[in-house]
Structure 1
Amino acid sequence: MHYVVVQVILKEKLWGTGSGNLTSMEKAINDQAAKGYRLHTITTASSGSKGIGGGDRIQATMVFESLV
């Protein structure tokens, strides 16, 4: 089996709730799917600190497994 590990930093919206850049995670998943990989595992870790302009940062680590 072959695996690929991808990390994406999710930034909380300045106002309201939720992530302001879920599209970057969606792009990473779709890019790997186009290469013949499927999402196997995902973990998250919160930095607990505010970035410039506010909002916490969450690091999402995704492990993709080859379908071939």
Structure 2
Amino acid sequence: MIARAQADAVSGAQPRPAATGASYVVLQVVLKEKFFGSGSGNLTELEGVINRQAALGYRLHTISTSASGSTGFGGGDRIQATMVFERLT
């Protein structure tokens, strides 16, 4: 079950219905710090994922975040948001 959740989470935050008989969907979004300035440059992406999943009949049940730094070109912190959506019945 954990492997399935991890595989689903790596789906690139593409809104989708749950598998047949399932009530929950797990999605992940990686928020990257802006190259110039501060704050996340893609909060609208996170909002879009939540709204598209809601349009499919799900509500955001749980959200968890973890932060990590990047030493590559452009650097900046990254926040990984893992969201659990529950089907509304």
TM-score normalised by the chain length of structure 1: 0.88
Aligned residues: 68
Residue of 77, 81, 84 corresponding to 1:56? 77
Q: RMSD across aligned C-alpha pairs, in angstroms?
A: 1.4
Identity of aligned residues (%): 71
Instruction: Identify which of structures 1 and 2 has the higher relative contact order when contacts are C-alpha pairs closer than 8 Å and 6+ apart.
Output: 1
Unaligned regions of 5+ residues in structure 1, if any?
Answer: none
Q: How does 1:1-68 map to 2 (within 5 A)?
A: 2-68=23-89
Unaligned regions of 5+ residues in structure 2, if any?
Answer: 1-21
Name the structure where helix makes up a greater proportion of residues: 2
Shift of 1:54: 2.5
- Spell out structure 1 runs of 4+ moving beyond 6 A: none
Partner amino acid for 1:31? R
Name the structure where strand makes up a greater proportion of residues: 1
Q: State the structure with more CA Rg.
A: 2
